[in-house]
C-alpha cells in the first residue's frame, strides 16, 4: 500500500474508532480501519482505495471468516453483483 493509504488506515480508520471495545490489532479492528479508510478518506486514488479494500478482505480471510463484499467494496473493486 502507498504511504497515503497506510496513513488513511491509521487516521481515518483507527483514530476515528478509538475508545471502542475492539482491541487494537484485533482482526475486526484492522478490517474496520481499512474499510472505513477506503470509504471516507478524501483525495485517495482509486488504486489506493482498492488496496485498502483488499487489505480488509485479507484480514477477514486470515481470520477464517467468510468474505462477503458489501456494495461499497464491490464498487471499489469493480466487481459485478451478478458474478
What residues does each domain of the chain span?
3-77
Average pLDDT over residues 69-73: 94
Confidence of residue 83 (pLDDT cuts 50, 70, 90): very low
Q: What global pTM score does this model have?
A: 0.88
List, for residues 13-46, the tens digit of each pLDDT value: 999 888 888 887 899 999 999 999 999 999 999 9
Q: What is the pLDDT of residue 20?
A: 83
Residues found in the chain: 83
Give the long-range contacts of residues 49-53, CB within 8 A, separation 24 or more.
49/76, 50/76, 50/77, 51/1, 51/2, 51/5, 52/1, 52/5, 52/8, 52/9, 53/77
| Res. 77: pLDDT tops 60 | yes
Amino acid at each position: 500500500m502507498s504511504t497515503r493509504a497506510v496513513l488513511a488506515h491509521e487516521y481515518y480508520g483507527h483514530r476515528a474508532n478509538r475508545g471502542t471495545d475492539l482491541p487494537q490489532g484485533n482482526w475486526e479492528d484492522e478490517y474496520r480501519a481499512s474499510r472505513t479508510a477506503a470509504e471516507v478518506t478524501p483525495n485517495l486514488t482509486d488504486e489506493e482505495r482498492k488496496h485498502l479494500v483488499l487489505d480488509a478482505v485479507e484480514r477477514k480471510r486470515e481470520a477464517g471468516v467468510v468474505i462477503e463484499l458489501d456494495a461499497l467494496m464491490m464498487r471499489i473493486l469493480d466487481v459485478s453483483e451478478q458474478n
